Amino acid sequence: MKTWKKLVSLTAACALGLSLLAGCSGTTTPSGTTPGASAGTEGDAGEGKMFNIVLTAPFTGFDPLRTNDSASTYVNAQIYETLYRINPETGAYDPLLAVSEPEYSEDGLTVTIKLREGVTFQDGTPFNSEAVKYTFELIQDPDFGSARASIAGSIESMECPDENTIVFHLLYEDGVFQAKLAHTNSAIVSPTAQQNQDLMTQPCGTGPYSFVSSVSGSNVVLTRNDNYWGEAPAIKDVTMTIISDESTAVSRMETGEADFMPKISVEQLSRVENNAGLTVTTSEAAQIYYLGMRATSSVNPVMAEKDFRTALAMGIDKEGYVEYMMQGYAEVANSVIGPKIFGYAEEAENHNIAYDPEGAKAILDAHPGWADEEILFLVPSTPVYSRMGEYFQSSLTQAGFNNIKIETMDWSAWLTESKVDGRYDITLAAWSNVTRDGSELMEPNFHSVNGQQRVRLLPEDAALVDGYIDASKTTSNAEVRTENLLNCNAVLMDEAYVQPIYNSTNLFCYSNSYTGITLDAGGTFYILDFDYAG
């Protein structure tokens, strides 16, 4: 079984001077072997079998710097690598393309990182300090369209003293800098490939898997990277297929057409639990689902009224949803910052607006006409969001709102449309906190400049939230950081811009023919960690 712990041990040995190409490579397949065909490698019982993964949401593209949806990340995490990776067992930031921990200057403004030698991208381009510098310059470039420009927000400049050393000069002491370097949106890309092809359709990284082919909206095929610098994956060929209907997707698991489903709803649990050939399990997650509201740039101007937003928050029966729809596979969220995220304290939950349909009706009764205001509720059409949308439309109706209008759209369209001005009043969203850091939750979701701007705050509150977020990330002082994150949380909750719904648990299933299958707290999996059973 190829565990993450084994990989870390192996790469540490390589850093001590073993030959990366000879001592750190595993069994590889002959060039020219086609996906699904046996390479005849001794010891791999399932070598000739395609590993089939079924997903219920489509990928938006395969450039890790320009995509941030879960399905795309599932693919990109196999092809690309970051300087550090979060250890799924300890939560520590372990070196990956870096060979050691960052070295900080006394004032925290200069960060020196030593890079792994002997690594090449899948197009043959050498991995070196210039490639790292190039990647972060792209993330910084406003014309490039990075999905997470905030990752490079603290970087003033970079220099490359030699091929295996990168030096970051920071604008401020960044308390989450190493966490950013472990984020999938900071994966290092090949400068040659980025300049000569569209990585959204032709990905190229340093990771254990290489891209073979893709059919838009349907599937993507990967194969083992024969020149990978680390231990070769046990599984050679992989296909990820999009099946938007979850019941059909589960049927593929039941018939053996699929081997792994990284996200399954509780409604389908009984089907897989009763199948002796499948394992259904959970892992700890750092993900929150929430209802986001727009006080500005909404369809209906009444959204600017705090009392109206408060009534909406009171009409969200999140306890009922978790109890009846999630069957205990989630925890009710009473603050934006969850218990597993840095910056959380019990006092954060004091700002929760509880489900109170009578309280909501009282607010509506005190304002003639509010009960009949049309509120546009934008809901992605994926299985999880569709169920939530229908449930909360019903609970809002029971709380006295007579005109909650749902508009559903496919996931890819929602990712774009949910950022558009004047597009909706309320929407459902989720955030998988890969770094488990509160600043990395608050900034991309709620900062008025650096964030995605799905939630829109009134100007005076936006200024407060921006200030708290900026203060939380510009120091390594944990006490100061926590204080500012709690203040940010309080504004979002007290002013009813966000109604947290639940903190999720990773729920997934896989064929018993495999072992080592799990998801990290951010919901990402790495096929490198998987192995054949027996």
Query: Per-residue pLDDT tens for 164-197?
Result: 999 999 999 998 899 999 999 999 999 999 999 9
Residue 278 has pLDDT above 50, yes or no: yes
Same domain (yes/no): 266, 387: no
Instruction: Give me the mean pLDDT over the 212-238 stretch.
Output: 96
Domain annotation covers residue 3: no
Domain annotation covers residue 393: yes
Same domain (yes/no): 180, 61: yes
Q: What are the Cα distances from residue 449, in Å, to 42, 47, 141, 420, 457?
A: 55, 49, 15, 14, 12
Instruction: Give me the mean pLDDT over the 436-464 stretch.
Output: 95
Q: What angle do CA 158, 159, 161 make, to 5 degrees?
A: 155
Range of the domain at 293: 285-505
* Edge-first strand listing for the sheet containing 219-224: 209-215, 219-224, 237-242, 51-55, 260-261, 506-511, 278-283
**Both tokens assigned to 169:** 């000069």
pLDDT digits 0-9 by tens, 231-247: 999 999 999 999 999 99
Same domain (yes/no): 304, 439: yes
DSSP 90-158: T--EEESSBSS--EE-TTS-EEEEEB-SS-B-TTSPBPSHHHHHHHHHHHH-TTT--TTGGGGTTEEEE
Instruction: Give me the mean pLDDT over the 194-210 stretch.
Output: 97
Cβ atoms of 181 and 84 within 8 Å: the answer is yes
Domain annotation covers residue 134: yes
Residue 212 has pLDDT above 90, yes or no: yes
What local confidence, expressed as pLDDT, does residue 248 receive?
A: 97
Count of Cβ atoms closer than 10 Å to residue 421 Cβ: 10
What local confidence, expressed as pLDDT, does residue 144 receive?
A: 95
d(CA 185, CA 150): 10
Q: What are the Cα distances from residue 111, in Å, to 86, 174, 177, 187?
A: 19, 10, 9, 18
Instruction: Give me the mean pLDDT over the 418-431 stretch.
Output: 97
Percent of the chain with pLDDT over 90: 80
Q: What CATH number does residue 443 fall under?
A: 3.10.105.10
What local confidence, expressed as pLDDT, does residue 40 receive?
A: 34
Cβ atoms of 347 and 486 within 8 Å: the answer is yes
Domain annotation covers residue 373: yes
Domain annotation covers residue 86: yes
CA atoms lying within 13 Å on the CB side of residue 33 = 22
What local confidence, expressed as pLDDT, does residue 20 receive?
A: 29
Same domain (yes/no): 269, 320: no
Instruction: Give me the mean pLDDT over the 355-373 stretch.
Output: 98
Instruction: Give me the mean pLDDT over the 327-341 stretch.
Output: 93
Q: Which helix (H) or strand (E) holds 431?
A: strand 426-432
Residues in the chain: 534
Instruction: Give me the mean pLDDT over the 101-126 stretch.
Output: 97
**pLDDT, greater one: 68 or 309:** 309
Instruction: Give me the mean pLDDT over the 367-378 stretch.
Output: 98
Same domain (yes/no): 271, 291: no
What local confidence, expressed as pLDDT, does residue 47 receive?
A: 64
Same domain (yes/no): 56, 181: yes
Q: Which helix (H) or strand (E) holds 478?
A: helix 478-494
Most confident of 11-15, 408-412, 507-511: 507-511
Q: What CATH number does residue 181 fall under?
A: 3.40.190.10
What local confidence, expressed as pLDDT, does residue 46 receive?
A: 58
Domain annotation covers residue 317: yes
Write the secondary structure of 159-185 as one string of H (helix), E (strand) and C (coil).
EEEECCEEEEEECCCCCCHHHHHCCHH
Same domain (yes/no): 469, 517: no
Q: Is 501 helix (H, G, I), strand (E, B) or coil?
A: strand
Domain annotation covers residue 322: yes
d(CA 18, CA 2): 20
Same domain (yes/no): 404, 259: no
Percent of the chain with pLDDT over 70: 91
Q: Which helix (H) or strand (E) holds 408?
A: strand 404-409
Q: Which helix (H) or strand (E) holds 532?
A: strand 531-532
DSSP 216-233: TTTEEEEEE-TT-SSPPP
Which of 10-24, 193-207, 396-410, 502-516 is predicted with the least confidence, judged by mean pLDDT?
A: 10-24
pTM of the model: 0.79
Residue 135 has pLDDT above 70, yes or no: yes
Same domain (yes/no): 228, 327: no
What local confidence, expressed as pLDDT, does residue 13 receive?
A: 37
**Both tokens assigned to 272:** 């897989």
Same domain (yes/no): 350, 227: no
Same domain (yes/no): 140, 158: yes
Indicate the average pLDDT of the chain: 90
What local confidence, expressed as pLDDT, does residue 432 receive?
A: 87
Instruction: Give me the mean pLDDT over the 207-218 stretch.
Output: 95
Residue 421 has pLDDT above 80, yes or no: yes
Q: Is 525 helix (H, G, I), strand (E, B) or coil?
A: coil
Q: How many domains does the chain have?
A: 2
Domain annotation covers residue 437: yes
Same domain (yes/no): 351, 462: yes
Which of 31-40, 269-278, 342-351, 419-428 is predicted with the least confidence, judged by mean pLDDT?
A: 31-40
**pLDDT, greater one: 38 or 139:** 139
